[in-house]
Amino acid sequence: MGWKCYNCGNTEEFVEINKVQTDVLQELNTTKIKKIINKTMSESLLDVLCKKCASKNVKWIEISQTDDFLFSDDFVLTEEHNIGTMCFELTTKCDIDCKYCPRGKKEELDYTLIKRLLDENFSLQKPIRSFELGWDMGNPLLHSKIKDIMELFSSFDCNVNILTNGKNFVNNIKNLNISNANVTLFLDHTEKETNDIFMGKGVYDGTTKALKWLNKHKIKTYVYMRMGRHNFDQIKDMKTFCDKNDATFIPTEIYPLGSARESMLMTDNMKQKAICDIENLGLKKSIHFSEPSGNCTYLRKLRLFVDSSGFMSFCHFLNLSNARIINANHMSLLELIQKNNKVRMGFVKNKNKKISSWQKPRMTASPCSYCLYAFGLNKKW
- Flag whether 72 is in a domain: no
Q: What is the pLDDT of residues 333-365, one digit of tens each?
A: 988 988 887 777 666 666 666 666 666 656 666
> Which of 119-133, 181-195, 320-334, 349-363 has the least mean pLDDT?
349-363
Contact 303, 84 (CB under 8 A): yes
79 burial level (CB within 10 Å; 0-12, 13-18, 19+): exposed
User: In this model, does residue 212 exceed pLDDT 70?
Assistant: yes
- What confidence score (pLDDT) does residue 361 get? 59
- What confidence score (pLDDT) does residue 253 get? 85
Summarize the confidence of residues 300-313 as an average pLDDT.
84
> Which of 24-33, 99-108, 189-198, 215-224 has the least mean pLDDT?
24-33
Query: Roughly how many angstroms between the first and final C-alpha of the chain, as a whole number?
Result: 38
The answer on 23 and 159 residing in a single domain is no
Q: What is the pLDDT of residues 169-180, one digit of tens each?
A: 999 999 999 988
User: In this model, does residue 105 exceed pLDDT 70?
Assistant: yes
- Flag whether 76 is in a domain: no
The answer on 124 and 182 residing in a single domain is yes
Nearest Cα neighbor of 184 from 289, 100, 286 is 286
Per residue, what are the HEC states of 53-75? CCCCCEEEECCCCCHHHCCHHHC
Q: Which residues span the domain enclosing 61?
A: 2-67
* Bridging pattern class, strands 21-26 and 13-17: antiparallel
User: In this model, does residue 18 exceed pLDDT 60?
Assistant: no
- What confidence score (pLDDT) does residue 67 get? 32
In whole angstroms, how far apart are CA 373 and each of 58, 210, 334?
A: 21, 38, 27
Q: In what order do the strands lie in the sheet with 21-26?
A: 33-37, 21-26, 13-17, 47-50
CATH number at 199 reads 3.20.20.70
The answer on 285 and 360 residing in a single domain is yes
The answer on 60 and 129 residing in a single domain is no
Summarize the confidence of residues 271-286 as an average pLDDT.
89
Q: In what order do the strands lie in the sheet with 311-313?
A: 248-253, 221-227, 181-186, 159-165, 130-133, 85-88, 303-306, 311-313, 324-327
Q: Is the dihedral of CA 112, 131, 20, 381 positive or negative?
A: positive
User: In this model, does residue 236 exceed pLDDT 90?
Assistant: yes
- H or E, element range at 284: none
User: In this model, does residue 34 exceed pLDDT 80?
Assistant: no
User: In this model, does residue 374 exceed pLDDT 70?
Assistant: no
Indicate the residue type of 350.
Answer: N
HSE-CB for 213 with a 13 A CA cutoff: 19
The answer on 276 and 154 residing in a single domain is yes
Please identify, among 36, 67, 98, the residue that sits at the C-terminal boundary of a domain: 67
The answer on 94 and 6 residing in a single domain is no
- What confidence score (pLDDT) does residue 63 get? 42
> Which of 18-22, 321-325, 340-344, 350-354 has the least mean pLDDT?
18-22
Spatial distance between the Cα atoms of 333 and 255, rounded to a whole number of angstroms? 31
Spatial distance between the Cα atoms of 358 and 280, rounded to a whole number of angstroms? 30
- Flag whether 73 is in a domain: no
**Cβ neighbours of residue 72 closer than 8 Å, sequence gap 6 or more:** none
- What confidence score (pLDDT) does residue 365 get? 62
Mean pLDDT of the chain: 80
- What confidence score (pLDDT) does residue 202 get? 96
The answer on 179 and 48 residing in a single domain is no
The answer on 207 and 349 residing in a single domain is yes
Please identify, among 67, 101, 122, the residue that sits at the C-terminal boundary of a domain: 67
In whole angstroms, how far apart are CA 311 and each of 142, 159, 184, 316, 327?
A: 20, 23, 24, 12, 4
DSSP one-letter string for 130-198: EEEE--SSS-GGGSTTHHHHHHHHHTSS-EEEEEEESTTHHHHTTT---TTEEEEEE---SSHHHHHHH
- What confidence score (pLDDT) does residue 11 get? 72
Spatial distance between the Cα atoms of 374 and 269, rounded to a whole number of angstroms? 25
- What confidence score (pLDDT) does residue 222 get? 96
The structural domain count of the chain equals: 2
Q: What is the pLDDT of residues 62-96, one digit of tens each?
A: 543 333 322 233 445 667 777 889 999 999 999 99
Look at 162 and 339; give whichever has higher pLDDT. 162
- What confidence score (pLDDT) does residue 65 get? 37
Spatial distance between the Cα atoms of 235 and 280, rounded to a whole number of angstroms? 11
- What confidence score (pLDDT) does residue 71 get? 28
Summarize the confidence of residues 270-278 as an average pLDDT.
91
Summarize the confidence of residues 364-376 as an average pLDDT.
62
The answer on 213 and 105 residing in a single domain is yes
* Bridging pattern class, strands 85-88 and 311-313: unpaired
The answer on 200 and 59 residing in a single domain is no
- What confidence score (pLDDT) does residue 75 get? 45
User: In this model, does residue 185 exceed pLDDT 90?
Assistant: yes
The answer on 155 and 114 residing in a single domain is yes
- What confidence score (pLDDT) does residue 356 get? 65
How big is the CA angle at 344 (ends 343 and 348), to the nearest 5 degrees?
Answer: 125
